[in-house]
Amino acid sequence: MNKLIVFNSVSLDGFFVDMNGGIEWARTSTKDEEWDAFVESNARGEGVLLFGRITYELMKSYWPTPSAMKAFPAVAERMNNLPKIVFSRTLDTAEWKNTKIVKNALGTEIRRMKNESGNGMVILGSGIIVSQLTQERLIDEYQIVVIPTILGKGRTLFEGLQENLNLKLIHSRTFNNGNVFLRYVPKL
């Protein structure tokens, strides 16, 4: 059975994108070798990357570029080579290597994918998808990095959630740059 994980960064005030939909704020300007090693090690994971259309377009505009390969070679290599699925009703073609477009009902498709064998699935960004799959109780683990930045306005990962979901903290780690990595699973 495939495990479904969310990996996202949020500001201290809980936004995953700023008021303009940007994520540049999540790139810390404080050099931290431990954080850099964590990011590189985390990128070595296997499995399938899942995106909504907006996040897919943002990621494909950066990771296949020479600047991404220069700045983050290990992360760029994994982002470009791992299999990717973009959930979109409007995209007809996927130009990024190893990408498949799925137009089926999100919950139905994720249930089917979770029942297959594999190395798991990771949702990056994609707040609308995270909110929908949280509502349907299909996410197995939430990996959240709190970035010590206050945005004031933006979008949360869980907009539109209709009922509470209680979580259990299973791991935390604080970095010298102020980032805090948190792993949660749904409480049973």
* Per-residue pLDDT, 28: 65
Supply the CATH number for residue 167's domain: 3.40.430.10
Q: What is the pTM of this model?
A: 0.92
Per-residue model confidence (pLDDT) at position 29 = 65
Structural domain for 111, as ranges: 4-186
Residues of the chain falling short of pLDDT 70: 28-29
CA distance 77 to 16: 24
Instruction: Compute the 3-state secondary structure of the chain and give helix, strand, coil in percent, each to the nearest 5.
Output: 30, 25, 45
Domain total for the chain? 1
- Within a 10 A sphere around the Cβ of 45, how many other Cβ atoms? 14
Is the separation of the CB atoms in 156 and 18 below 8 Å? no
pLDDT tens for each residue of 31-45 = 788 988 888 787 777
